[in-house]
Chains A and B, each alone.
Chain A
Amino acid sequence: MKKHLKTAMPGAALLALFAFTGEAAAAEAAIDKADTAWVLVSTALVMFMVPGLAVFYAGMTRQKNVLSTIMQSFFILCLITVQWVVFGYSLSFGPSSGWSIGGLDYFGLSGVGVEPRGTIPHLLFMAFQGMFAAITVALITGAFAERIKFSAVVLFSLLWAFVVYDPLCHWVWGGGWLQSLGVLDFAGGIVVHISSGVSALVAALYIGKRRGWPRELMPPHNLTLTAIGMGILWFGWFGFNAGSALASDGGAVTAFVATNIAAAAGTLVWAFIEWAHRGKPTMLGAVSGTVAGLGSITPAAGFVTPMAALLIGLAGGVLCYLAVIILKPRFRYDDTLDVFGIHGVAGTWGTLATGLFASIGATGLFYGNPAQLMAQAIGAGVTIALSVVGTLVILQIVDMTVGIRVTKEEEIQGLDLTQHEERGYSL
């Protein structure tokens, strides 16, 4: 993505200039119809990932929390869409104050129309990026599933978009300081997966375990839902990664192929390790490996060869398996749906792997550029720091205002009934 933004940035600066002198700029850069069509489709694909994530998560919760889990992701899609068009897009991609935050030039999408940004309409670029913001916030909900007040989810999500997502997005993609430093993030290994994964871990630690975990049985209530969710996520991820080329070109194809390979590799490696380690491969393990592979390839997708994608997916599967199966039980944190163990770990690995394997439009360590690995490490480190501090501050605010956890009785009764007064199944 950065490769294309580099060429897009002067265009954006020009646009800002022309905003004062009238609409004459539009003729300067040309909109490419094929690029526009592909990014339109990709925007819809990324949107579809949110309900995909909702059922992926919901299948892993207990029956009494199925609707609340779906509602959290779905509500966030809508909440962040509104936040994005009013404030978020401007704070992330606004041109004014450069390296730290985007400013309010695009407040309420003022000045954001169908004029070109790169080779697609500016408004489309805004919509595509908005879906990323929405799914990133939704990912975090897996960490505190089954025990959080709905009001807390709403307030937390809104604040998190302002405090963590928008600045980070600006730093990495919007012309901010990490981008100037040369940090590469093709489709969101840093902006989406490290940020959500690390914030999820902080939230899981702050909010605490579910009552009875891990002593009581809390098996997933409907893994067929989770399997359907995995299918939607994999499908949507093509828009997420290949769409991030922001063009219908070779870069998109590179990212598309890498995405598919890493998803398959992650799935296989998780299933085989489980088979060897536990005696039987599980379906939940296989789909966990899929998401591990997909998360790992996200920052690297457009920068690496197919064989590098295979290695990134395989290693991603191994690392996430270790995080979920070994690390979590050892440290006994209830990251309920493994947002950190999968997205956080995969995003961090993929970000570093980009610094190792990049060979298309960028150069990594294995191709003679150790500085890239350093830049990636700085990008990951800064993101972890921002996510930890930002999330802790937000949790304090939420705790002091609406409160975070439901009562013991409500937790036992389930969030569907107590937070939404409805049930997922009336059989």
Chain B
Amino acid sequence: MKKVEAIIKPFKLDDVKKALGDIHIEGMTVSEVKGFGRQKGHSEFYRGAEYTLDFLPKVKVEVVTTDELTPKVVEAIMAAAKTGKIGDGKIFISPIEDGVRIRTGERGSDAL
């Protein structure tokens, strides 16, 4: 099993959700996060005081899936979240040792 973590532009969340639904991914965890990469932050201006905000709002989508499906998940997210402009985000993939469905006690990929 693998965990796919995608940090995307907030307005792309609906597209990514739909793209993952299309390849039958049945669950995901979404959180509002802040951060920066090469895009850096932006500035705000209040009555003469200029603030440079380093951290931009982003959305993190976490999907745990089987090894076989992982490339398709990554592809789907990439296609849906891409605008071609700096700040589109990143995808990280990491191995998952095990998983448990709390209700039934199923383990591994059965728990997905």
Is A bound to B? yes
Chain A residues proximal to chain B, CB less than 8 Å: 60, 214, 217-220, 278, 280, 282, 284-285, 288, 324-326, 328-329, 338
Which of B8-16, B48-56, B73-81 lies on the face that meets chain A? B48-56
User: Total number of A-B contacts with CB less than 8 angstroms?
Assistant: 26
B49: chain A residues at CB < 8 Å are 214, 218, 329
- Complex Cα spacing A288 to B49, Å: 14
Residue of A nearest to B48 (CB): A325
Q: List 12 A-B contacts (CB under 8 A).
A: A60-B46, A217-B53, A219-B44, A220-B46, A282-B45, A282-B46, A284-B47, A288-B47, A324-B48, A325-B47, A325-B48, A326-B48
Give 4 A-B pairs besides A326-B48, A328-B48, A329-B49 with Cβ atoms closer than 8 angstroms.
Answer: A217-B51, A220-B46, A284-B47, A329-B48
- Complex Cα spacing A153 to B88, Å: 49
- Complex Cα spacing A324 to B47, Å: 7
B interface residue count range (under 10 / 10 to 19 / 20 to 34 / 35 or more)? under 10
- Complex Cα spacing A60 to B51, Å: 15
- Complex Cα spacing A280 to B45, Å: 9
- Complex Cα spacing A60 to B53, Å: 17
Q: For the complex, would chain A's binding face be called helix, strand, loop or mixed by DSSP majority?
A: helix
Distance between B42 CB and nearest chain A CB, rounded to angstroms: 12
A60: chain B residues at CB < 8 Å are 46
Report which residue of B44, B48, B53 has the largest number of chain A beta carbons within 10 angstroms of its beta carbon.
B48
A217: chain B residues at CB < 8 Å are 51, 53
Chain B residues proximal to chain A, CB less than 8 Å: 44-49, 51, 53
Distance between A293 CB and nearest chain B CB, rounded to angstroms: 16
- Complex Cα spacing A393 to B53, Å: 41
Q: Is the CB of B46 within 8 A of A219?
A: yes
A326: chain B residues at CB < 8 Å are 48
B48: chain A residues at CB < 8 Å are 324-326, 328-329
A282: chain B residues at CB < 8 Å are 45-46
B45: chain A residues at CB < 8 Å are 278, 280, 282
- Complex Cα spacing A217 to B53, Å: 9
Complex A-B, nearest 4 residue pairs according to Cβ-Cβ distance, in ascending order: A325-B48, A217-B51, A324-B47, A324-B48
- Complex Cα spacing A220 to B45, Å: 10
B46: chain A residues at CB < 8 Å are 60, 219-220, 282, 284
A329: chain B residues at CB < 8 Å are 48-49
Q: Is the CB of A338 within 8 A of B51?
A: no
- Complex Cα spacing A288 to B53, Å: 23
Report which residue of A218, A219, A284 has the largest number of chain B beta carbons within 10 angstroms of its beta carbon.
A219
B51: chain A residues at CB < 8 Å are 217, 219
Distance between B40 CB and nearest chain A CB, rounded to angstroms: 16
Distance between A213 CB and nearest chain B CB, rounded to angstroms: 9
B44: chain A residues at CB < 8 Å are 219
Residue of A nearest to B52 (CB): A217
Residue of B nearest to A223 (CB): B46
- Complex Cα spacing A412 to B81, Å: 39
Distance between B101 CB and nearest chain A CB, rounded to angstroms: 31
- Complex Cα spacing A97 to B45, Å: 52
Report which residue of A217, A218, A329 has the largest number of chain B beta carbons within 10 angstroms of its beta carbon.
A217
A284: chain B residues at CB < 8 Å are 46-47
A280: chain B residues at CB < 8 Å are 45
Q: Is the CB of B47 within 8 A of A338?
A: yes
A278: chain B residues at CB < 8 Å are 45
Residue of B nearest to A342 (CB): B47
Distance between B49 CB and nearest chain A CB, rounded to angstroms: 7
